[in-house]
Chain A
Amino acid sequence: MTRIQKEKLFSKALGFLTLFACSILAFILFAVFSRGFSAFSWEFISSEATDFGAQGGILYQIFGTLLLMFASITICLPIALGTALYQSEYLKSSFFQKAFKIFMASLNGMPTIVLGLAGYLFFGKFLGIGVSWLTGALILAAMILPTAHAAILEAIETLPEHYQETGISLGLKPNQRILAVVIPHSVYGIVTGALLGLARAGGETAAIMFTATAFSGVSIPQSITEPVATLQTHILILAQEATNPTALANAWGAASVLLGIVFFLILGAKSVRSRLSWEPEQ
């Protein structure tokens, strides 16, 4: 075999493996949506679950997942933005810069189940909020903080140097610079961070399964100390009833909706990042 032939064979083999790797996603989408399709109807997403989720729809589960997602990003975003701004605009000490990096990394590396348990003991027990959607939202906010923070910080740090310099030469104080230069020009980072954070919060199960959710008999919570039902825990319970075909069909239906929500957010984040990010100017 000549060099050229060898190379052709090699690249063909690699190409085949790449195709295989990409087809895993196609397989997952097909497996979930084709099975979810049979359960899926307007009624399914607009009525409540009955018979412990084996019958009926997933209205309150969708509501609970969305509630947790949006509550957690609402709590997380000001903290992530504030931290990123403080680090980039005010913090001079390189020791603390490093410390921030390490603590964000440790929060990011923290297995979510551990975060959920520790968060429950602090928010649920110590602060007395109990098993409730607020506890879940606070835990998820801590979980997605590194994601949102990283996206925002990256946007601020890649801001072209002369924007900041122009601001300084106009005599703007740091707070004016933040309002006039930094925030308007890193909006895409804030939006990307928020969308990725939402996607991560929506896909998380382990952190909320003991801390924020109840399986049945829950509708729209009347106060901040009540638990919600979520798609994730709904699937978790139904998945363990693999022998009951209707329950399983409902699990696939719920999984389709969850997958749809998460993909929508990730694709949104991708398109925001590619459309609004700074083109290198050289």
Chain B
Amino acid sequence: MSRFADIDFFHWATFAMALLSMTLGVGIVAYLFWEGGPFIWNHGAQFLMGLDWFPDEEYGAAPMIFGSAAVTFLALVFSTPLALASAIYTSEFLDPRQRLTVKGIMEILAGVPGIVYGLLGVSLLSVWIRDVFNLVDGYTLLSASFLLAIMILPTIMTLSEDAIHSTPAEYRQAASGLGLSKMEILFSVALPHATPGIAGAILLAIGRAMGETIAVMLVIGGLDRVPEPWYDVFSSGQSIASKLGREAAETLGFGEHWSALMALALILFFLVMFLTAFGNWLIKGFRK
């Protein structure tokens, strides 16, 4: 060992590994730019605003961008109230053991594979939606939103709960000393303190919802059109991720079609990165 101690093998070995992971991160982002960037640069607004997507003729990303935004927004509408209510209850009204149990349940829920949600969506949810709303088929923007709502529930719930729970005990004691009830402490002390953390949790959840491919792809219907009228959630649609999942295999690495898909991927990547970075910043900044 004493001879080896002079040559710092670990320094070089760990440096090599660090370089490798750095290269991986940089490489993939650079690759996306390389493949998708020129397409956005050349087609610009025509690509971003275009309403039609016919491979080898016309590439309009608007239906996919709209689809991603619509299902994510609806998923948030369904998920946030439930997630916040359980976060508040878990943090403020449960004893430590029960709190850990609820958080454990959420952790397990977060681990359910996307494909299992997809299967549940195809064979149960879409059938229910078809029957309840009397539709031709159940593959709609609404079905995708419901699935996403369940998938992002643990993210919002767990991170918001952390934020609410981390309200300093002195604040709570001071409020309690003023004679405030639990509920009043919650609304006047804990929630205001936790607001940035909750906002961060929601942003991370949006990022997750936008990137989800497999479950959305199975239930969203795969129709590249902005619904008519636009608020018709019972129509089929397409999200950016589901578009990639459906079409990428046809054109792996070749031609304009591929460049257009990679341009979509680039847009998706930027949206997700921005949301995740901003969300993380809110969560961390407020912990300090």
Contact B28 A110 (CB under 8 A): yes
Contacts of B114 in A (CB 8 A): 203-206
A121 within 8 A of B: yes
Contact B18 A14 (CB under 8 A): no
Annotate B3-41 by CB proximity to A: 1 below 8 A, 0 otherwise. 011001111011111101110111111011000000000
Q: Nearest-CB distance from A204 to chain B (Å)?
A: 7
Contacts of B197 in A (CB 8 A): none
Contact A263 B89 (CB under 8 A): no
Contact B113 A259 (CB under 8 A): yes
A159 within 8 A of B: no
Contact B115 A255 (CB under 8 A): yes
B196 within 8 A of A: no
**Residue from the list A6, A119, A239 in contact with B218, Cβ < 8 A:** A239
A262 within 8 A of B: yes
A17 within 8 A of B: yes
Contact A83 B85 (CB under 8 A): no
Contact B21 A117 (CB under 8 A): no
Question: Which chain A residues numbered 114 to 164 have a C-beta less than 8 Å away from chain B?
Answer: 114-115, 117-122, 125, 142, 145, 149
B283 within 8 A of A: no
Contact B153 A24 (CB under 8 A): yes
Contact A90 B11 (CB under 8 A): yes
Contacts of A206 in B (CB 8 A): 114, 213-214, 241, 245
Annotate A262-273 by CB proximity to B: 1 below 8 A, 0 otherwise. 110011001000
Assuming the A-B contacts A83-B21, A175-B5, are A204 and B113 also in contact, with contact meaning beta carbons closer than 8 angstroms in the complex?
yes
Contacts of A79 in B (CB 8 A): 17, 20-21
**Residue from the list A13, A175, A203, A255 in contact with B9, Cβ < 8 A:** A175
Question: Which chain A residues numbered 12 to 38 have a C-beta less than 8 Å away from chain B?
Answer: 13-15, 17-18, 20-22, 24-25, 28, 31-32
Contact B111 A109 (CB under 8 A): no
Tell me the complex Cα distance, A262–B108, Å. Answer: 9
A252 within 8 A of B: yes
Contact B181 A3 (CB under 8 A): yes
Tell me the complex Cα distance, A4–B184, Å. Answer: 11
Contacts of B175 in A (CB 8 A): none
Assuming the A-B contacts A90-B14, A118-B28, are A32 and B265 also in contact, with contact meaning beta carbons closer than 8 angstroms in the complex?
no
A173 within 8 A of B: yes
Contacts of B276 in A (CB 8 A): 105, 108-109
Interface of B is mostly: helix
Nearest neighbor of A234 in chain B, beta-carbon distance: B115
**Residue from the list A21, A120, A251, A270 in contact with B119, Cβ < 8 A:** A251
**Residue from the list A14, A87, A105 in contact with B277, Cβ < 8 A:** A105
**Residue from the list B102, B116, B245 in contact with A22, Cβ < 8 A:** B102
Tell me the complex Cα distance, A119–B32, Å. Answer: 11
Contact A113 B248 (CB under 8 A): yes
Q: How many residues of A contact B (CB 8 A)?
A: 88
Contacts of B123 in A (CB 8 A): 239, 242, 248, 251
Tell me the complex Cα distance, A38–B16, Å. Answer: 51
B190 within 8 A of A: no
Contacts of A4 in B (CB 8 A): 181
Q: Nearest-CB distance from A75 to chain B (Å)?
A: 10
Contacts of A104 in B (CB 8 A): 21, 25
Question: Which of A13, A118, A204 has the most chain B CB within a 10 Å cutoff?
Answer: A118
Contact A83 B115 (CB under 8 A): no
B182 within 8 A of A: yes
A236 within 8 A of B: yes
Tell me the complex Cα distance, A216–B256, Å. Answer: 31
Tell me the complex Cα distance, A267–B249, Å. Answer: 35
Annotate B247-288 by CB proximity to A: 1 below 8 A, 0 otherwise. 011001100000000100100110011001100100000000
A166 within 8 A of B: no
Contact A239 B113 (CB under 8 A): no
Contact A114 B244 (CB under 8 A): yes
B168 within 8 A of A: no
Tell me the complex Cα distance, A142–B28, Å. Answer: 10
Nearest neighbor of A142 in chain B, beta-carbon distance: B24
Question: Which of B22, B107, B181, B262 has the most chain A CB within a 10 Å cutoff?
Answer: B22
Contacts of B214 in A (CB 8 A): 205-206, 209, 236
5 tightest CB-CB pairs across the interface, nearest first?
A82-B17, A203-B113, A103-B25, A111-B211, A86-B14
Contact sample, A vs B, 14 pairs, CB 8 Å cutoff: A14-B89, A90-B15, A111-B244, A113-B213, A117-B244, A173-B5, A175-B9, A176-B5, A205-B118, A239-B119, A255-B115, A258-B115, A259-B116, A267-B108
Given contact pairs A14-B86, A114-B269, enumerate 16 new A-B contacts (beta carbons under 8 Å): A14-B88, A14-B89, A15-B93, A82-B13, A105-B277, A112-B213, A119-B28, A120-B252, A121-B252, A149-B21, A174-B8, A209-B214, A209-B245, A236-B115, A242-B122, A251-B119
Q: Please list the residues of chain A having a beta carbon within 8 angstroms of any beta carbon in chain B.
A: 3-4, 6-7, 10-11, 13-15, 17-18, 20-22, 24-25, 28, 31-32, 78-83, 85-87, 89-91, 99-100, 102-115, 117-122, 125, 142, 145, 149, 173-176, 178-179, 199, 202-206, 209-210, 232, 235-236, 239-240, 242, 248, 251-252, 255, 258-259, 262-263, 266-267, 270
